Amino acid sequence: MVRLYGITHGASIDSFFSSTPVYINPAIELLDDLAELPKGSKIGIEWFEESGWQEVQDDLAKRSFDAGLHDIPFFDGLASYYWGILTSKLQRLGLQPVFLEDKFIWSRYNQAVVNLVNSNKEELFHESKSDRDYHIKLCEYNEARLELLLKSRKIHEIERDDALLSAIASGRLDAAIVGVGHGDYWMVNKARIQEQTGVAFDSYSKEQPNGNTCLPTVFVKKAEPDKNHIYTRKSLERAIRLMEQGRVVEGTPDFVGTWCDYAPSKGYFEVFVHEKDGEEIYGEIEDVLGTATFRGRVNGNGIKFTKVYTAALADAIRGEISYEATRRGNEFLGVFSISGFRGPFYLIAADKKNPFEIGVRMFDLILQ
């Protein structure tokens, strides 16, 4: 059994004009809790052995130089500050740090970051082409940028996550200390993780943000996972599934659509009708942000429904969102409304459609 600790290894004070990094020290309560372990206990930490972190930074610099980047990406020093202090504290307690990070994963992430930054060099101009030609080019540009972003996040947040778990499984550890995003996700999925890796977590404590600049974190024993961390991971998994498989979730939707014609994957959603009584319909809508329920009416003239998110990212709109559209064969074009804002949306009766093609089709219908 492995004691699991989720920590916050850096923060920032943000204002309209600037962002100031906040360096965080390991909480005294965390160290006291670790001190209960027998001397010589092996503690996995989400960091690098010896010069590993410097090698990762040098690798990023070299890849950036080779790509001819003018805006050189870099990693801040917040994490290295925290993990450096924690490593020293563990050794003073007579505990043995075991370093969990994989430099090969980070080298792949570095290349993905360079590819993403390099794509910024491409500038998009309307030129003298038609509005439709420009819209197609805009959709291609935004979809390509999103794909590069998702590929980098998949390496950093999913493949790295798997590598950390693999290192814990092979290290025969007594405890593991990782970022709170990893820790929260692992605790929610601990049964699956134990089945797949053999790693069993017997307790979970964490340093979580406190919102106080003088005391930026607070230590909580027997901690509960933060739902937004779980929704963030699920959102990423959905976006990657859409990119790789053309679906947000498993199952066969009755309708698919988008509320963003210039970045269609961003607004892509799938409508599952669970109940139908005449023209009345009820069911769920799945998108990259999360899950929503809806209730409405569909007939030969159009569709009208109200959506409410029930399990979604904090960025998702809270409260009712109204949709109303006119029918054009098996397609619908209309407007969604929330307090103080209206925007277009497109819907088609289909179980699967390419988001890029949907965005272009939506634009064509708007022009008609």
Please give the domain boundaries of the chain with CATH numbers for all domains: 2-225 (no CATH), 246-367 (2.40.128)
Residue 306 binned pLDDT confidence (cut-offs 50, 70, 90): very high
Q: Hey, what are 138's tokens?
A: 């805009």
Tell which residue, 352, 168, 146, has the closest CA to residue 262. Answer: 146
CB burial readout 59-94, b (16+ within 10 A) else e:
bbeebbeeeebeeeeeeeebbbbbbeebbebbeebe
In the chain the beta strands, taken as DSSP E runs, fall at 2-7, 11-14, 19-22, 42-45, 96-99, 175-179, 201-209, 217-220, 255-258, 268-277, 280-287, 290-298, 302-312, 321-328, 331-338, 341-348
15-42 residue pLDDT tens: 556 667 778 899 999 999 999 999 999 9
Give the pLDDT of residue 200.
Answer: 96
Give the pLDDT of residue 214.
Answer: 61
Q: Is 60 exceeded by the pLDDT of residue 14? A: no
Mean pLDDT of 307-315: 94
> Distance between CA 155 and CA 71 in Å, rounded?
22
Ranges 11-20, 112-121, 183-192: which has the least confidence:
11-20
| pTM score, whole prediction | 0.92
pLDDT above 90 covers a percentage of the chain that reads 81
- Tell me what the pLDDT averaged over the chain comes to: 92
